[in-house]
């Protein structure tokens, strides 16, 4: 018996198809890993921006809420009302206030220089709070309330655009609220005896 012996092997076309399928699988795995890395970088940048915002707002809240305020009686005769004079002032990109320290007060200044926010105390010590402040707005709402709004922008690794974290905080100046109270209305006995 003489027969033709056949060799089973892979043809060139079969090898090309296998290479294309393997390449597509590797490309798919690469894209998934790249997407996971991108998501992790984005989440890390968002978390870091939120943490920076919290540090800034906690420092602002502590200093502004404790800042000095005094009441001055304005008006004449029976129409006198207490008017609050606060130590918290804004001048350009600086916010300055007097904060109690023992029996005296110390001057604290928050200063924006480009995207850098610093806290300068009375001794001249400067503490950099953040280098990535996109926007800081501090607005008077009333004699005793301040609104602070912070935007922090961080650029995650491998990205061009920053991730922005935006947060607002309402701050009450304790001494301003106390000073604004009409002394005749401090307790119910005063109300009952005077009116």
The model's pTM: 0.71
Q: What is the mean pLDDT of the chain?
A: 85
Asked if the model's pLDDT at residue 117 lies above 60, the reply is yes
Inside any domain, residue 13: no
Inside any domain, residue 16: no
pLDDT in tens, 30-65: 999 988 888 888 899 999 999 999 999 999 999 998
Q: What percent of the chain has pLDDT over 70?
A: 86
Inside any domain, residue 22: no
Inside any domain, residue 194: no
In this predicted structure, what is the pLDDT of residue 177? Answer: 74
Inside any domain, residue 15: no
Q: What percent of the chain has pLDDT over 90?
A: 44
Q: Is 186 helix (H, G, I), strand (E, B) or coil?
A: coil
* Residue 2 vs residue 71, higher pLDDT: 71
Task: Report the residue count for the chain.
Answer: 195
Write the CA distances from 100 to 33, 63, 166, integer angstroms: 54, 9, 30
pLDDT in tens, 132-185: 999 999 998 887 889 999 999 998 887 888 899 999 999 988 887 776 665 555
Inside any domain, residue 195: no
The torsion angles phi and psi of 37, rounded to 5 degrees, stand at -65, -40
Number of separate domains in the chain = 1
The dihedral of CA 130, 117, 147, 96: what is its sign? Answer: positive
Structure tokens at 180: 């604004």
Asked if the model's pLDDT at residue 124 lies above 60, the reply is yes
Asked if the model's pLDDT at residue 19 lies above 90, the reply is yes
Inside any domain, residue 190: no
In which domain, by residue range, is 161 found? 43-73+83-185
> What confidence category does residue 6 fall into, taking pLDDT thresholds of 50, 70 and 90?
low
- 150 closest CA partner among 164, 139, 136, 140: 136
In this predicted structure, what is the pLDDT of residue 170? Answer: 92
Inside any domain, residue 9: no
């Amino acid at each position: 018996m003489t027969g033709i012996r056949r060799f089973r092997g892979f043809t060139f076309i079969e090898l090309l198809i296998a290479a294309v399928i393997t390449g597509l699988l590797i490309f798919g795995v690469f894209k998934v890993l790249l997407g996971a890395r991108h998501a992790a970088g984005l989440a890390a940048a968002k978390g870091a921006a939120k943490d920076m915002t919290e540090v800034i707002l906690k420092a602002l809240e502590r200093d502004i809420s404790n800042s000095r305020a005094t009441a001055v009686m304005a008006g004449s005769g029976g129409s006198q009302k207490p008017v609050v004079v606060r130590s918290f002032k804004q001048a350009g990109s600086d916010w300055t206030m007097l904060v109690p320290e023992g029996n005296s007060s110390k001057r604290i200044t928050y200063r924006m220089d480009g995207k850098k926010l610093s806290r300068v105390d009375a001794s001249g010590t400067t503490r950099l709070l953040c280098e990535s402040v996109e926007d800081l707005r501090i607005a008077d709402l009333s004699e005793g309330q301040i609104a602070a709004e912070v935007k922090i922008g961080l650029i995650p690794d491998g990205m061009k655009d920053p991730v922005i974290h935006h947060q607002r905080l309402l701050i009450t100046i304790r001494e301003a609220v106390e000073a604004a109270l009409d002394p005749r209305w401090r307790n119910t006995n005063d109300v009952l005896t005077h009116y």
